[in-house]
Amino acid sequence: MSEMELRHELKEIIMDIVEIDDFNDDDNLVTQLNVDSMLLLEIVARIEKRYRIRIPEDCFPKMETLNAVVHIVSGILQPVGR
Amino acid sequence: MAKHDGPIVITGMGAVSPFGLGVEAFWSALKQGERPIAALEQDAQPVPGLKVRGWQPADLLGKRGLQYLHPSAQFLLGASQLALQQADLADGKTNPDELGVTIGCNLVGLQAISDYDYTAIVEGPRYVSPMEAPNTLANAPASHLAIRLKARALNTTIASGQCAGLDALGYAAKAVREGRARQVIVGGVEELSPAVLWIYRNSKIVSGKHMENVGRPFDLESTGWLPSEGAAVAVLERKEDTLTRGARPLAELVGWSSAFAPSQTFEQRSRVLERAARQALDTAGLVPEDVDVVIAGASGLREQDQAEALALHNLLMNNPRASVTAIKGTLGETYGASGLFQALAAICMMNYGIIPPTTERKRPYPATLFFNGLLTEARVWPESRHGTTLLLTQDLFGSTSAVVLRGCQE
Amino acid sequence: MTRRIVITGLGVLSPIGSGCTEFWQQLIAGTVGTGPIQAFDTSIFDAHNGGEVQHFDPAKYFSVLDPETCPRTTQLAVAAARMAVEDAEVLHADYALERIGVCMGTTMGNESVVEDENNRRIQNSPALPETLVSHYVQTFITSAIAQELAIEGPCHVIPTACAAGNYAIGWGMDMIQDGLIDVAIVGGADAISRGCFAVFHRLGAIADEVCQPFDRDRTGMLVSEGAGVLVLEDYGRAVKRGARIYAELLGYGLSCDAHHPTAPHPEGLGAQSSMLRALRESSLEPEAVSYISAHGTGTPANDASESLAVRKVFGARADQLPVSSIKSMLGHTMGAASAIEAVACALTIYSGTIPPTVNYRESDPACLQAVVPNHALDYPVEVAMSNSFAFGGNISTIVMKRV
């Protein structure tokens, strides 16, 4: 899947959970979109379920914007070889 | 808040039922006596039931947050909104530290926890939803309601089976008397999920055969409960506050009591139900002869109905003018919500001056075991606004409860 | 006329021991009863520890119903209730059975039936016995107690999650005050639940190893099970019949955060209200309280907001006033928790010893300091307060005192 497709899907997931029609890719989820810890957990859970991946707990605080979420998820889906 | 020893009244009513949105839809259905029975499926077997239809939750509640609420929470929020509107307490007219919530319900979390556990072990623990977690508990509807209304005085859920609704009324009245809340949203709610139908099937209280014979109160042909769902809500508050803000009290809550029958014989059950009724009347300074109308809890389950019939036979022996009506022939058995639906029915009767009839019985009980006064046709009640109604209910496992409501004469 | 209400009987089943004597001995010894869960397979989860009641033989406590038809939560409830009424010797006293009522709190209720059914579906085994399934409903918990003890007063179940025990105790006080009953058998019960474990696991709330309330490095709570029951009666009649009186119940407070379905209010507003209301109903000022039994689950959120709330109510005293959490030893017994904590408070007052908060290594400046760390404290407790905070914002506080 291309990064554009992934970005689109992840944005859909977030919009569905937060119940908004649109937002900017660099909007802060917590301070601008009112995502509390439980909603963030819901976003994580839905992403994990959709892609059958596991997002480590120490990534949660870094998931501040859609850009960050795309970066973290694509990193897990296609880890860069060492 | 200081304690309160004055009258406690109901000022608002709301309902979401198989007849649609609002108390009017429920009241119309009671008068007409039609029950839109659906053949529901549980494990590929048919079970009769009445499902909520005729409302769009988003229209009343807005779309936001609805996806995280189970039907039971949606029913309760809808019914509560209507009740508060009627009481003229909606749109922030209440003080959060004075507004309480008391809800009777039993099985609202069952489908949620069943699915949660199943998904965790079949798909994996990471594949259950965090937002769904609180919905697995019986206190979920009450909790969602409190958040929406900002109700911080108290929040109690009562799960005493079929008695839960009447017991919620008793608990809420106590809260107002003790000054723990100035207003209490008292509700009852239940949802008919597949898991709930599984419980009812195994409890041998519903039958898939002879669907037209289900849920017929006081009828020897009745084959058990007619499972139903919905929410019924009343706003309870101090009468003196209604005078201050010009709201209209609809009824006064004057008595509640409850008792338990350890034995399963219907004679023992009837004695305990009679005792609960007398105690409830006594707390209001009344006796059975003061009762104008009884709203029976009869559900069409013969063991329960027999016990109630005998109790009423004894209670009404010296009260030939009392009328009895059983609403579950139309409403079905809404379990935790039933007591509140009984209360709404009683309040409608007292305010509109009509007593709806009980569903026609195919095979009535022999007269010797029965009581006088069961209405088979609607009756006009001219003095209803001064009237006294007695609400009775029993639970499958032995609890019995009673509530007394009086009209608020203008 | 306000009746004085006293505690005359106690019953308890817990991961550290069952029956008052064993429970209390282990509690003040600081015994940790949590460890790897045996009741269900935890290999699919990232956490594995919890608390379980050991050596429980339900048949010992049943003479009317068949215990095999009763789910485990009901079995624990009946056992604790029987222990409590025998401790109080109250059924041989002169009380009419219709003047005795029962109320139990619970979180998950008879959830084991659901899990048995899920297991059955997966394994494609025969249907569960109908009677067992019909006993799923929560009202059966108190109905079973009432049937076993032949009680005829009011019987309720209050499923207000992790605060439920305190609600049941408050109900009992109200019923006696209103003159409907003379004796209340009240408490809470919950069997260990895989579904419950899945809930807390998904919320990231479960501790890595042990429960460490108020500790700077605390990692969460531990799912557990148990039952606690208290017998309440009128003081005058208890004295007259020569009953042993553990403590007097002065009052209770209720509130609701109405903030969030699972998280506590960050400033503990609901907790503050509940404590203040309980004190007001007890006609006491905060200065009168000698000990607080904390809700203290060991989660970062709860212990911080609870500490803030206690500091707001008790001011400068908050960090000298002994506050301990027995969840450090028992784990979180859900609907039984505040009932078992009430049992512990009654024994604390009666014996003059405060149970410790164990597993405590590092203090957290954001949390209360006087947590009675690791070792019980001999200390005459005049007035004890016990707090409980639950999912759904259900909050309740009880206050009891030495007689």
Q: Using CA coordinates, name the residue in chain C closest to B395.
A: C139
Q: How many domains does chain A have?
A: 1
Q: Using CA coordinates, name the residue in chain B closest to A49.
A: B127
- B265 reaches C (C-beta below 8 A): no
Q: What is the pLDDT of residue C208?
A: 96
Chain A positions touching C305 (Cβ under 8 A) are none
> What is the three-class DSSP state of A66?
helix
Name which CATH class applies to B251-407.
Answer: alpha beta
CATH 3.40.47.10 residue window(s) in chain C: 7-240, 251-401
In Å, how far is B156's CA from the nearest CA of chain C?
A: 7
Question: For residues C274 and C393, what is the distance between their CA atoms, to the nearest angstrom?
Answer: 11
* Domain boundaries, given as residue ranges, for chain B: 8-245, 251-407
- C44 reaches A (C-beta below 8 A): no
Question: For residues C199 and C207, what is the distance between their CA atoms, to the nearest angstrom?
Answer: 14
By the 8 A CB rule, do B328 and B338 touch? yes
Q: What tens-digit pLDDT sequence spans chain B (410 residues)? A: 889 999 999 999 999 999 999 999 999 999 998 888 888 877 777 889 999 998 999 999 999 999 999 999 999 999 999 999 999 999 989 999 999 999 999 999 999 999 999 999 999 999 999 999 999 999 999 999 999 999 999 999 999 999 999 999 999 999 999 999 999 999 999 999 999 999 999 998 988 777 889 999 999 999 999 999 999 999 999 999 999 888 999 999 999 999 999 877 889 999 999 999 999 999 999 999 999 999 999 999 999 999 999 999 999 999 999 999 999 999 999 999 999 999 999 999 999 999 999 998 999 998 877 898 999 899 999 999 999 999 999 999 999 999 999 999 76
> What is the three-class DSSP state of C212?
coil
Q: Which of A36, A41, A57 lies nearest to residue C203, judging by beta carbons?
A: A41
- B120 reaches A (C-beta below 8 A): no
Question: For residues C269 and B188, what is the distance between their CA atoms, to the nearest angstrom?
Answer: 28
CATH number of A20's domain: 1.10.1200.10
- B126 reaches C (C-beta below 8 A): yes
By the 8 A CB rule, do C302 and C309 touch? no
- A38 reaches B (C-beta below 8 A): yes
Which entry of C70, C103, C162, C211 is annotated as an active-site residue?
C162
Q: Is pLDDT of A82 > 60?
A: no
Cβ B65–A45 below 8 Å, yes or no? no
C295 labelled catalytic: yes
Question: For residues B203 and C305, what is the distance between their CA atoms, to the nearest angstrom?
Answer: 44
pLDDT-above-90 percentage for chain C: 95
Residue of B235, B308, B47, B397 lying closest to C147 (CA atoms): B397
In Å, how far is C136's CA from the nearest CA of chain A?
A: 30
Q: Which chains touch C (3 or more CB pairs under 8 A)?
A: A, B
Which helix (H) or strand (E) covers residue B199, if one does? helix B194-202
C162 labelled catalytic: yes
Q: Which chains touch B (3 or more CB pairs under 8 A)?
A: A, C
Is A60 domain-assigned? yes
Chain C positions touching B155 (Cβ under 8 A) are 160, 254, 256, 258, 392-394
Is A82 domain-assigned? no
C103 labelled catalytic: no
Q: Left (φ > 0), alpha (ψ -120 to 50) or beta: where does C18 sit?
A: beta
Which entry of C135, C201, C265, C295 is annotated as an active-site residue?
C295
Q: Which of C202, C261, C263 lies nearest to residue A37, judging by beta carbons?
A: C263
Considering only the C-alpha atoms of chain A, give the largest distance between any 2 of them, rounded to a whole number of Å.
Answer: 39
Cβ B127–A48 below 8 Å, yes or no? yes
Residue matched to tokens 């970005």: A7
Q: For the domain B8-245, what is the CATH superfamily, name and number?
A: Thiolase/Chalcone synthase (3.40.47.10)
Model pTM greater than 0.90?
A: yes
Question: For residues B324 and B280, what is the distance between their CA atoms, to the nearest angstrom?
Answer: 17
Chain B positions touching C118 (Cβ under 8 A) are 114, 117-118, 121
CATH number of C7-240: 3.40.47.10
Own/partner pairs, B363-369, CB within 8 angstroms, 24+ separation = B363/B219, B363/B220, B363/B221, B364/B218, B364/B219, B364/B220, B365/B218, B365/B220, B365/B306, B365/B309, B369/B306, B369/B309, B369/B310, B369/B313
Domain that holds residue A45: 3-77
Cα–Cα distance list, C211 to C13, C24, C51, C295 (Å): 19, 19, 11, 12
Question: For residues C324 and C348, what is the distance between their CA atoms, to the nearest angstrom?
Answer: 11
Q: Which of C122, C130, C161 lies nearest to residue B122, judging by beta carbons?
A: C122
Question: For residues A56 and B28, what is the distance between their CA atoms, to the nearest angstrom?
Answer: 57
By the 8 A CB rule, do C90 and C6 touch? no
- B3 reaches A (C-beta below 8 A): no
Residue of C33, C72, C52, C252 lying closest to C164 (CA atoms): C252
For residue C5, the cross-strand partners are: C234, C249
Beta strands in C118-265 (DSSP E): 155-158, 183-190, 226-234, 247-256
Question: For residues B312 and B288, what is the distance between their CA atoms, to the nearest angstrom?
Answer: 10
Q: Using CA coordinates, name the residue in chain A closest to B130.
A: A42
- C266 reaches A (C-beta below 8 A): no
| Beta-sheet pairing, B354-355 with B99-104 | unpaired
Chain C positions touching B336 (Cβ under 8 A) are none
In Å, how far is C334's CA from the nearest CA of chain B?
A: 12
CATH number of C251-401: 3.40.47.10
**Domain B8-245 identical in fold to domain B251-407:** yes
> Across residues C310-336, what is the average pLDDT?
97
Question: For residues A39 and A37, what is the distance between their CA atoms, to the nearest angstrom?
Answer: 6
- B303 reaches C (C-beta below 8 A): no
Cβ A45–B129 below 8 Å, yes or no? yes
Interface mutation vs chain B, best among A14, A38, A47, most B CBs within 10 Å: A38
For residue B179, the cross-strand partners are: none
Cβ C260–A38 below 8 Å, yes or no? yes
Q: Which of C157, C258, C261 lies nearest to residue B96, judging by beta carbons?
A: C258
Q: Which of C143, C255, C269 lies nearest to residue B397, judging by beta carbons?
A: C143
Cα–Cα distance list, C267 to A38, C53, C228, C303, C368 (Å): 18, 35, 30, 11, 14
Cβ B152–C137 below 8 Å, yes or no? no
> Across residues C342-354, what is the average pLDDT?
98
Q: What is the pLDDT of residue A81?
A: 57
Residue of C247, C240, C243, C231 lying closest to C182 (CA atoms): C231
